[in-house]
Structure 1
Amino acid sequence: MVKPTIKDVAKLANVSIATVSRVLNNLDGYSKKTKDKVEKAIKELNYEPNAIARGLVSKNSRTIGILLPYMHGRFSVDLLRGIDKYTHENNYSVVICNTDNNGIRTMEYIKLLGEKQVEGIIFASAEVKKEYEEELLKLNIPTILVSTNGISNKLPSINIDNYQAAYYATLELIKKGHKDICMISGQKDNKESGIPREAGFKQALLDNGLEVSDQKIYYGDFTFESGISGITKLKKDNPNMTAIFTASDLMALGVLQYAYQKRLIIPHELAVIGFDDSEDAKMSVPPLTTIHQPIEEMGILAAQMLIDKSIVFEDKILKHSVTIRNTI
């Protein structure tokens, strides 16, 4: 069955398409009698107007745009769950853009969101390059950064203290008596999560009189595969290592996979602590000890800041915690 269009409504109500559009968007310029005719036609035809199309007239699209560097992994899943929870409750829709960490693709999506007249943009978990920030500011659309920071202070962000979180993760291993501790970090130039987490790890070792050296750190990319390649290299370079801190749960799962293949007993022969506290961490064998990053809450807060105009539009630092399970 063909869905009715705005033209069908206008024809049945014997008015212009522009008049139907004005009624749909609660604009003035028509009589009560005309409004009643249009609403009756809408009901008879069971017409459902497109939210974005309505927004082109009302400038109120009730749509939030989301820019993510990847769609795999629990960070993206948990963040989107939080965003969807708040937007759905408030009758907003979302447009999800997978940038694949590609500069050209990111710029194209930013411009696309502007063309779609979204009411707000969430830019998550990727480096905010100068050209991205300039384009976002040029759109004059409220934008929130999640798990990243801008070049200037013009775009508010939602983060945790990655340095402190990594510091306390490392302390948990030290408290268990470990002295030969390694780390699988994020990319070496990753300013958002890689650099601060590596700095926190190193400082915890230094504060406790333990060795800090380059051969104790492997630079991964937060994926399961880089967890396996990381522990393989670190074990070769540090045969006496007894504990490892990874900058993501996915990389920690790679370590657990390696341990299973090598028949290493966790945590007696190798202690592991991850970062994120994703659903995967609860389901791993054994269940993973990890830094709890309130990812879903970040998504909820980001959506809330864009939709609820009473929320102060400023940087937010959320609390992290350590979730103790069975790998340390």
Structure 2
Amino acid sequence: MTIYDIAKEAGVSASSVSRVINNKTGVNPEVRKKVQKLLKKYHYTPDAAARGLVSQSSRIIGILIADIRNIHHTDGAYYIERKLAALNYCCVILNTGDDDESRAQAISILEQRRVEGAVLIGSSFQTESVAQAIKRHLNNVPIVMINAFLDAPNIYGVLSDELHGVEACVNLLAEKGRKSLAFVRDCHTPSCELKVEGFRRGIRLLGQTEPWIYDSHGTTAADGKRATLEVLKDHPDVDGIIYSVDLIATGGIRALYDLGIAIPDQVSVIGVDNSIYGEICIPTLTSLDNKTFDSSIAACRILIDCLENRTTTRQMILPSAIVVRESTP
């Protein structure tokens, strides 16, 4: 059923039907009522692609995530999609993977879909190859990055202050009498390196000369368990461990449990993300809240400001906060 079919049955012009569909004025109330009844009867849905060709507006927003298994990032994508859907935007969510070629290909796909804007979630997108791909394919649309930033006229950033947040985690453990601390990281992204720097700053103030930093070589609980066993082997006197994400921290908790090491009496544990994993593990996990919800909503607001030609913030830094649970004294 096309607009012309509706017009023919209603006995009016196609332009009158179009005005009713788009809620424009200048239509007789009786004609409007008759057309609306036919639209409902035939379950008429406007062709978004055709309307886009006329208005030069696709109403499509791209959302890129490196790994859709990362609950922290998919939660952010959910908040963004819901907010934009309420404004009649359609979101295309792509799982890019972590290699430069795949990320560039995803950005190219967004160009093909004629997106009006894009949100890139995660600091893994903070690379020169992504900057070049954006310049080549999406140079004329607003791009908002969450927990990342690239210096380009059409790119905006919403970041969480994880550096000072992790430093605050070290201070919290120090206040609880912990003196021998280790840090386990899951990757080497810009975000994770800021967490490591926060750890380094914190332990310098504690007087711990050597930073005990370990790689989990993965993002699963099993990876966290394996790295924790390595920490304990090298430093049996460790009394506090900070993990770069909650999920690997749950693996660390399991390792300590299996060895009969009491949490938090003997070893305190802190994660980062304040995810559901921290709420359901035993003991519950103290975690650095890097404000997934707030970052997502802020990214939406910046993108909407750009789409509506309003002046907005190029770069925003949100403070993080520690959520204390059972894994710290």
Q: Distance in 2 between matches of 1:231 and 1:15?
A: 74
Task: Say if 2:251 is the partner of 1:254.
Answer: yes
Structure-2 residue corresponding to 1:294: 291
Structure-2 residue corresponding to 1:118: 115
* CA contact 1:244–1:273 (8 Å) conserved in 2: yes
Q: CA deviation at 1:50?
A: 4.2
Q: CA deviation at 1:313?
A: 3.8
After the TM superposition, which residues 102-251 of structure 1 pair with which residues of structure 2 at under 5 Å, given as runs? Answer: 102-125=99-122, 126-137=124-135, 138-139=137-138, 140-150=140-150, 152=152, 155-188=155-188, 190-191=189-190, 193-213=191-211, 215-251=212-248
Unpaired runs of 5+ residues, structure 2, are none
CA 1:115–1:184 in structure 2 vs 1: closer, same or farther (change >3 Å)? same
Q: Distance in 1 between matches of 2:283 and 2:47?
A: 48
Unpaired runs of 5+ residues, structure 1, are none
* CA contact 2:216–2:224 (8 Å) conserved in 1: no
Q: Distance in 1 between matches of 2:23 and 2:129?
A: 38
Q: CA deviation at 1:146?
A: 0.4
Q: CA deviation at 1:77?
A: 2.9
Q: Distance in 1 between matches of 2:89 and 2:67?
A: 23
Letter in 1 for 2:193: I
* CA contact 1:55–1:117 (8 Å) conserved in 2: no
Q: Distance in 1 between matches of 2:13 and 2:146?
A: 45
CA 1:313–1:216 in structure 2 vs 1: closer, same or farther (change >3 Å)? closer
Q: Distance in 1 between matches of 2:236 and 2:110?
A: 50
* CA contact 1:222–1:247 (8 Å) conserved in 2: no
* CA contact 2:186–2:248 (8 Å) conserved in 1: no
Tell me whether 51-60 or 224-233 shows the greater mean CA deviation.
51-60
Q: CA deviation at 1:11?
A: 6.7
Letter in 1 for 2:142: P
Aligned mate of 2:66, from 65, 69, 93: 69
Q: Distance in 1 between matches of 2:57 and 2:301?
A: 16
Structure-2 residue corresponding to 1:320: 320
Report Cα offsets for 1:271-313 as digits up to 9, x if no partner. Answer: 1001111122122211111111110121111122212434614
SS of equivalent residue, structure 2 residue 125: coil
TM-score, with length taken from structure 1: 0.85
**Aligned Cα RMSD in Å?**
3.0
TM-score, with length taken from structure 2: 0.85
Q: CA deviation at 1:63?
A: 2.5
SS of equivalent residue, structure 2 residue 236: coil
Q: CA deviation at 1:54?
A: 2.7
SS of equivalent residue, structure 1 residue 158: strand
SS of equivalent residue, structure 2 residue 155: coil
CA 1:129–1:23 in structure 2 vs 1: closer, same or farther (change >3 Å)? farther
Q: Distance in 2 between matches of 1:115 and 1:22?
A: 30
CA 1:216–1:195 in structure 2 vs 1: closer, same or farther (change >3 Å)? closer
Provide the identity percentage: 27
Q: CA deviation at 1:208?
A: 1.8
Report Cα offsets for 1:198-219 as digits up to 9, x if no partner. Answer: 1110111111211324x54335
